[in-house]
Amino acid sequence: MAGQSADRALVERVRQGDRRAFDLLVLKYQGRIIKLVGRYVHDSSDAQDVAQEAFLKAYRALPRFRGDSAFYTWIYRIAINTAKNYLAAQSRRTPQGGFEQVDGELMERDSRFEDVATPEHNILRDEIKSTLTQAIVELPVDLRTAVTLRELDGMSYEEIAEAMECPIGTVRSRIFRAREAINRRLESLLD
């Protein structure tokens, strides 16, 4: 709660004309926003550009920020929408190629995937990572967004519901369906 009240105070300072207060908000959240955008926009320099665009949109929209949600949730929503718009614009410009590898943090959380120095294990680990990456990439955007916000960012169901602008029940359903789809892809490898 202390972080939210500090954010509210900074937002008020920005509204009163203190641009440096917005710089503090950017410094506080830029790493997380770039990481979030990077899950959609796989080129790191493009992800930084999209994140910067999201912050610019937030700055311009700050007078309309009502404070119904935390600033962090609000900027997340803006960043996700900016990334989706970027991808839509890119798909209209160039033929869509393959996706690059998705962040492997999901793999790092499970002790079954710890390194054992055998060639067989290394091959299996790489195959599991590749399958997991492909399974996440192939999820519909709403499922992929929900599961990555939960599993990689550790957001609560309530925060995800605010960020995705949908009911909590829908978030739970999307996460369940995403996990189910990922598990189906990994089943044969983990047996």
CATH architecture of 105-190: Orthogonal Bundle (1.10)
Name the pLDDT band for 87 (thresholds 50, 70, 90).
confident
Break the chain into its structural domains and give their ranges: 2-93, 105-190
- Mean pLDDT value across residues 149-178: 87
pLDDT, averaged across the chain: 82
Distance of CA 137 to the CA centre of its chain: 13
pLDDT at 103: 46
1-58 tens-digit pLDDT: 567 788 889 999 998 988 888 899 999 999 999 998 988 888 888 889 999 999 999 9
Q: What is the rounded distance in angstroms from the CA atom of residue 20 to the CA atom of residue 14?
A: 8
Tell if the pTM clears 0.85, that is, is over it: no
CATH of domain 2-93: 1.10.1740.10
